[in-house]
Amino acid sequence: MDSRIKENPERTFDLVLQVACPTSEKEDPTVLWSFPQDHTDQEVLQMIPKFCFPFDVERVSHNQVGQNFTFVLTDIDSKQRFGFCRLTQGCRVCICLLSYLPWFEIYYKLLNTLADYLLKQQENDLNNMLNSLYDLPVPKPFTPVNLSVHSYFIAPDINGLPTIPESRNLTEYFVAVDVNNMLQLYASMLHERRIIITSTKLSTLTACAHGATALLFPMYWQHIFIPVLPPHLLDYCCAPMPYFVGVHLSLLERVRSRSLEDVIILNMDSNTLESPFDDLRNLPADV
């Protein structure tokens, strides 16, 4: 099974957006600022804002959803493109960076820096940093990169199994879920089930989605993979084919009200797993 990471992407990132949260789900999020300003893919420009606030905006206390999270878009070649997000201003504004590179730790740190520049209205520093990274050829693994006096990183190796504590995804997964539920979920992925994970914190939700599927290495999850599902796509949970999706806890009751059959649900907040199967026991003895 091939990796769903794109080989040799053209750029380190494609787009950065600053998006304002709507007051109700009947309204669309508003794009406040974008880089580069001449980005021409209108479909992407219209799609990304809808992923920036993947919770019930009318019910959730905005200081409780967590600051950093990642969504995934799948292109026509079935390759994954990552939307790295940071919620600011009481979760009323989201900064989103779109890239084919799964550089979680690097891009979360970069988003923190961008948020600080925007808060202090340091537009020159902001544009200089983004221009430096946008024009930078994609570095090879372990190559040091200097973007400015305050920004330095080493390009990670994305071809192997992540390690703890370097990988925040795996670290959060091991903190949130006990070994028994990890094994149950791993067995369910091997059986290619329909899987929903949920949490009140977007950071925990998407980290655990990436962490759980990373443990399949050297295999890769080949089916629908949506680390966090926005409200307008909740019907995906009714799909008849295998999937692995994350749903913010504020939306879970809406999902349960749909006609779900043979779905596994893992709640990371309570570390509880609901499953109609006994997949772990049904694995072959040598596995």
Q: At what angle do helices 202-214 and 168-176 cross, to 10 degrees?
A: 100
DSSP E strands in 41-155: the ranges are: 68-74, 80-88, 93-99, 144-148, 151-154
Inform me whether the pLDDT recorded for 149 exceeds 60: no
Question: 202 and 53 in contact (C-beta within 8 Å)?
Answer: no
Residue 152: predicted pLDDT: 66
* pTM (predicted TM-score): 0.91
CB atoms within 10 A of CB 86: 20
Q: Quickly state the pLDDT bin for 1 (edges 50, 70, 90).
A: low
Judging by DSSP bridges, how do beta strands 243-248 and 224-226 pair with one another?
A: parallel
In angstroms, the CA 41 to CA 44 distance is 6
Q: What residues contact 204, with CB distance under 8 A and at least 6 apart? A: 66, 172, 176, 268, 269
Q: Which domains does the chain have, with CATH numbers?
A: 15-155 (3.30.450.200), 168-282 (3.40.50.11500)
Asked if residue 190 has pLDDT above 70, the reply is yes
What is the mean predicted confidence (pLDDT) over 160-168? Answer: 81
Q: How far is CA 130 from the centre of its chain?
A: 21
- Mean of the per-residue pLDDT values for the chain? 88
Q: Are strands 151-154 and 144-148 parallel, antiparallel or unpaired?
A: antiparallel
Give per-residue pLDDT as tens, 104-131.
988 998 999 888 888 888 888 888 889 8
Residue 195's H or E segment, with its range, is strand 194-199
What pLDDT was estimated at residue 246?
97
Please indicate whether residue 250 or residue 282 has the higher confidence score (pLDDT): 250
